[in-house]
Structure 1
């Protein structure tokens, strides 16, 4: 019997999504093909506490260091068999809801600092590990230096949503955002949503060079969804 090419298996499995969980158990080859398909679209499960705990297992030393001041207990299970986060293509606001659910379930002290620290560590981890990440929604965590570093190095993201960021007007956030936009030639969508006035108000703080860089970016062939530049 002639073996089917892996590409054929992928095409078949992509049309059998509801049956993939049972197909995983058939053999190792099918499992290796199906796992990336299942994990490419996990955003609708981000509110699940178990999933957030699994993500925490993937943090490296730098990302874990963000959580040390809060003295929280990280999961101590074995690391997952597959690098599941490498298959994720989209991270939306449900991740932040999942983190809030985890904090409530663990009965940690509620507060923005702990929630933001966990969000920062997870977003940084996704930027570092995901080889297929295309969409990223950033909340108030945008001002994390670790996120800045990983976002600047990322070459796969084509769409960023910062419409709900409350601190985009901080000069360091604007500086890094401009650098990211200027460097990332793959970016085709930037949702500024309610941030137009904040961006305008921050132009004085980023100086003439920063303003020129931002203007250069806006003049490139990019589509900025939800902003005045798309009108």
Structure 2
């Protein structure tokens, strides 16, 4: 049997990007198909809305990011590392919801001496740091809520970032100037300028 070159196979599979169920089936065909499907499935995700994605991403935290969670007694999954470094394929991240984190915490039946709000914020922060560190192909980033402490990391780490959307943030004028110089497209919605 003649096999298609990876480039051709990727183009064919990319046309199925809106048919995720079909792509999941393609994962199981063989290794070549799997290697071509994973980047498509992981390119655009709402990590923070899905408990399975939260669990997978928690497995990819480095020691520094894990250390942020230790004071809160957050028990990380003890599964083996994933076969792929999935987050390297991410091109589009939407950081707005904590539903997936809450669902993961509820499913894992974790108990804390801190409020759920505090725990979800620290997990969200740790996951965001990991995504910014590993998402080398990141082009579009949408951040809802306070992210001023992440601006430096966003600007330093993301060389391919072409669009950054902030909503419901408090930004200083110098933050906005630094962002405007760096990005091609800058969208602000419900942003409070702190003077």
Q: In the TM superposition, what are the counterparts of 1:162-201 in structure 2 within 5 Å? A: 162-165=166-169, 167-169=170-172, 175-176=174-175, 178-182=177-181, 184=182, 187-195=183-191, 198-199=192-193, 201=194
Aligned to 1:39: 42
Distance 2:151 2:87 in 1: 19
Where structure 1 has 5 or more consecutive residues not aligned to the other structure, the ranges are: 203-231
Q: Which residue does the alignment assign to 2:105?
A: 103
**Runs of 4+ residues over 6 Å off in structure 1:** none
SS at structure 1 position matched to 2:8? helix
Greater share of helix residues, 1 or 2? 1
CA distance in 2, matches of 1:177, 1:60: 30
Distance, in Å, in 2 between the alignment partners of 1:104 and 1:30 is 35
User: What is the CA–CA distance in structure 2 between the aligned matches of 1:123 and 1:115, rounded to whole Å?
Assistant: 12
Q: How many angstroms does 1:92 deviate by?
A: 1.4
Partner deviation per Cα, 1:191-230 (whole Å, 9 max, x = no partner): 21111xx32x42xxxxxxxxxxxxxxxxxxxxxxxxxxxx
TM-score by length of 1: 0.71
- Structure-2 separation of matches of 1:124 and 1:168: 19
**TM-score of the two chains, using structure 2 as the length reference:** 0.82
Q: RCO greater where, 1 or 2, for CA within 8 Å and sep 6 or more?
A: 2
The 3-state SS of whatever aligns with 1:138 is strand
**Is the strand fraction higher in 1 or 2?**
2
2:165 is aligned with 1:161 = yes
CA shift in 2, pair 1:26/1:12, >3 Å: same
Per-residue Cα deviation, 1:85-128 (whole angstroms, up to 9, x for no partner)? 11112221455222233334434443432222111111111111
Higher alpha-carbon deviation: 102-111 or 53-62? 102-111
Aligned counterpart, 1:143: 148
- What is residue 15 of structure 1 aligned with on the other side? 15
2:164 alignment partner, SS class: strand
Correspondence for 1:87: 89
Paired positions, count? 188
Task: Summarize deviations over 1:68-92 as a string: whole Å, max 9, x none.
Answer: 2211111111110001111112221
C-alpha RMSD of matched pairs (Å)? 2.4
Contact 2:6 2:32 survives alignment (8 Å): no
**Secondary structure of the equivalent of 2:103?**
helix
After superposition, residues 46-125 of structure 1 pair within 5 angstroms as: 46-93=48-95, 95-105=97-107, 106-109=109-112, 110-125=115-130
* Greater Rg over alpha carbons, structure: 1
